[in-house]
Structure 1
Amino acid sequence: MKSIVKTANAPAPIGPYNQAIKAGNFLYISGQIAIDPQTNDLVLDSISSETQLVLNNLKAILNEADYDFSNVVKTTIFLKDMALFAEVNEIYSSYFTTDFPARETVAVAGLPKGVNVEISVIAYKS
């Protein structure tokens, strides 16, 4: 059985998708970008602030489903420029501190709304 997970504490979808889908013990969270859920504005001041907002949006969705970062088993990071990797990884590592999830980081030609980073996650809870 699957159920839709949504929260006002993360940006509303900007297309025909949901913030997350819970299927059994798995939670699949759609890629998040740096949209402030309170104002609906993009936050592109720096790659650090952008990444932090992306991870906070993911955290809000995880929390809505009663999961947290310790339940994340897989992340995918999309970067506009691989030169941003070190700064993104520094912020990322403050959210994942032990039992790190599997991950790939991919450089892409473009991301929604011209952002620099997008992150999606899969979480599991037994």
Structure 2
Amino acid sequence: MEFIQSPELPAPAGHYSQGVVTRGGLVFVSGVLPARELAGADFEAQCASVFDQCEKVLRGAGCGLQDVVQCTAYLAGVEHWPAFNTAYAGVFGDHRPARAVVPVPALHYGFLVEVQLVAETLLPGQNG
């Protein structure tokens, strides 16, 4: 397997990779929180930051948001669900990955959203 570290993002502070590509071409993106400077920002800004960072990790694995097959989102409070739906639809458009949205009481650093993705990428020598 290949461990992904996007050159566009700071290295993780913990003992994990931003993403992992399996031999079979699945890309697992670790849970992504908004950029630190957005602590206290509104939910929409935090969603935009999370999806921007996810896109950078996916790009490091040779794929993009159009290759996402599954998304798990953690929201600090069920009241953010409608705004998440709007942000999600804006990011994915007609592409409709499988999805789970999990309301939780709190997230690290007081953030309001965390997203984890699974995508598919072509490995060298594979044809689309």
Compute the TM-score of the two structures, normalised by the length of structure 2. Answer: 0.87
1:64 maps to 2:60: yes
Aligned Cα root-mean-square deviation (Å): 1.4
The structure-2 alpha-carbon separation of the partners of 1:11 and 1:104, relative to structure 1 and needing over 3 Å to count, comes to farther
Alignment correspondent of 1:88: 84
Cα pair 2:62 2:121 within 8 Å, conserved: no
2:41 match: 45
Query: Larger C-alpha radius of gyration, 1 or 2?
Result: 2
- The aligned amino acid for 1:26 is L
Contact kept? 1:78, 1:105, Cα under 8 Å: yes
Matches within 5 A, 1:1-126: 2-24=1-23, 25-35=25-35, 40-126=36-122
Alpha carbons 1:59, 1:69 under 8 Å: kept: yes
The count of corresponding residues between Structure 1 and Structure 2 is 121
Report Cα offsets for 1:22-57 as digits up to 9, x if no partner: 10210000010111xxxx533432100000000000
| 4+ long deviations beyond 6 Å | none
Kept in 1, the 8 Å contact 2:39–2:109? The answer is no
Q: Does the aligned pair in 2 maintain the 1:74–1:123 contact within 8 Å? A: yes
- CA gap of 1:11–1:90, structure 2 versus 1, over 3 A, is farther
The Cα offsets for residues 105-124 of structure 1, whole Å up to 9 and x where unpaired, read as: 00112211111000000001
What one-letter code is carried by the residue in structure 2 that aligns with 1:109?
Answer: P
- Among all aligned residue pairs of Structure 1 and Structure 2, give the percentage whose two residues are the same amino acid: 24
- Give 1:11 shift: 4.2
Structure 1 gap ranges (5+) = none
CA contact (8 A) 1:77 1:117 kept: yes
Contact 1:5/1:21 (CA < 8 Å) preserved in 2? yes
